Amino acid sequence: MKRSIAVGVGLMEFPFDGAGGFWRWVDLCEAGGIDSIWQTDRLVSRAPILESMTGLAAIAGRTRRIKFGVNVVSVAMREPVLLAKQCATIDMLSGGRLLPGFGIGSPRGPEWTAMHLDPSIRGRKTDEALEIIGRLWAGEKLDYDGKHYQLTGAQIAPLPAQPDLPMWIGGSSNAAVRRTARYGTGWQAGSEPVEEVARVIAAIRAAVVEAGRHIDDDHYGAAFAYRFGTWDDPGMGRVAEAYRTRTGRDAREAFAVGDAGTIMARLAAYVEAGASKFILRPAAQGDADMLDQTRLLVEQVLPQVAARWPRPVKQAA
């Protein structure tokens, strides 16, 4: 199967001066051929971060073409029936453009302490929740007696527009590999470097075979921040420090900062590692900077991606 390479954009913090700048950015992504828009999930924060599910619902109403998702929903912090219902509603109203991504939540997240949640059971809660969500999307009237969730006659309607709504799984641990092999239709990296992405993809492919399932070769994703410019640009020091605090990684090794060639080289390295779907986060602040960085991506990178990795021609049924 020939892989289909697609470039989306993502947000962590809300970098705009207000709602107007955000909507101008969404309109640019829609018109410019960006594949998808992704929002990071964070419920508790001092910095402004959009609530992911309501943010996607708003984007769904604003757009007609572009897809959208969460990288990734912290499932253990949310009630699974409500989350299944939210995803189904957004997918139905958008005509099948939702790309749901699920994970256990970062242990560095402030939610565990602020909301009095137990991070030690987040993996087990997530596994139960993913089973519940998948069965509800399939239209089951569900009785469920798990350790963390109990349901009697639970059912949702309307169902998602996509008959097999994708379930992208995040995380790079051995448990995340097993979770993807058991429940996932794809895997989406967070900020893992190229070598780690290659290792995880290889591990998932082996685990999927062992589980007797199948994940398409082009359903593996990677993500990184980018900037057309230099590390001396205003605000880059603050962005790098925020990234280090959030992930424990060095931004100078993780970000692609330079020109279109720098970004293309990073994309090519991830493609070689097995990734096909990308979430690129502009390292920018303010309306003008975000729009400029996204416009440069549209004008200078997307045409090179299309030329280097042409999309497979879809054959008529």
Query: pLDDT tens, 136-164?
Result: 999 999 999 999 999 999 999 999 999 98
The answer to whether residue 181 scores a pLDDT higher than 50 is yes
- CA gap 197, 193 in Å, rounded: 6
Residue 13's pLDDT band, with cuts at 50, 70 and 90, is: very high
- CA gap 221, 168 in Å, rounded: 9
The answer to whether residue 219 scores a pLDDT higher than 60 is yes
Identify the pLDDT of residue 106.
85
> Strand 186-188 and strand 101-103: pairing?
unpaired
What are the CB-based long-range contacts (under 8 Å, 24+) for 117-125? 117/76, 117/77, 119/76, 121/76, 121/148, 122/74, 122/76, 123/76, 123/175, 123/179, 124/148, 125/75, 125/76, 125/149
Q: SS3 of 20, please? A: helix
Could you tell me which of 304, 273, 112, 153 has the C-alpha nearest to residue 202? 273
Identify the pLDDT of residue 66.
98
Q: Mean pLDDT across the chain, nearest whole number? A: 94
DSSP 297: I
- CA gap 126, 117 in Å, rounded: 13
Predicted structure pTM score: 0.94
**For 181-195, what is the mean pLDDT?**
94
User: Tokens 């995803």 label which residue?
Assistant: 87
**For 239-259, what is the mean pLDDT?**
88
Identify the pLDDT of residue 1.
57
Identify the pLDDT of residue 317.
45
The larger pLDDT score, comparing residue 238 to residue 209, is at: 209
**For 99-126, what is the mean pLDDT?**
93
From the candidate CATH numbers 3.20.20.30, 3.60.15.10, 2.102.10.10, 3.30.70.1530, the one assigned to the domain spanning 6-308: 3.20.20.30
The answer to whether residue 263 scores a pLDDT higher than 70 is yes
- CA gap 35, 268 in Å, rounded: 17
The answer to whether residue 316 scores a pLDDT higher than 70 is no
**For 255-265, what is the mean pLDDT?**
97
- Give the H or E element holding residue 60: helix 52-62
Instruction: Taking the CA atoms of 71, 77, 81 and 85 in sequence, report the sign of the dihedral they define.
Output: negative
Percent of the chain with pLDDT over 70: 98
- CA gap 6, 236 in Å, rounded: 27
Identify the pLDDT of residue 314.
67
The answer to whether residue 236 scores a pLDDT higher than 80 is yes
Asked if 67 and 166 count as a contact pair (C-beta separation under 8 A), the reply is: no
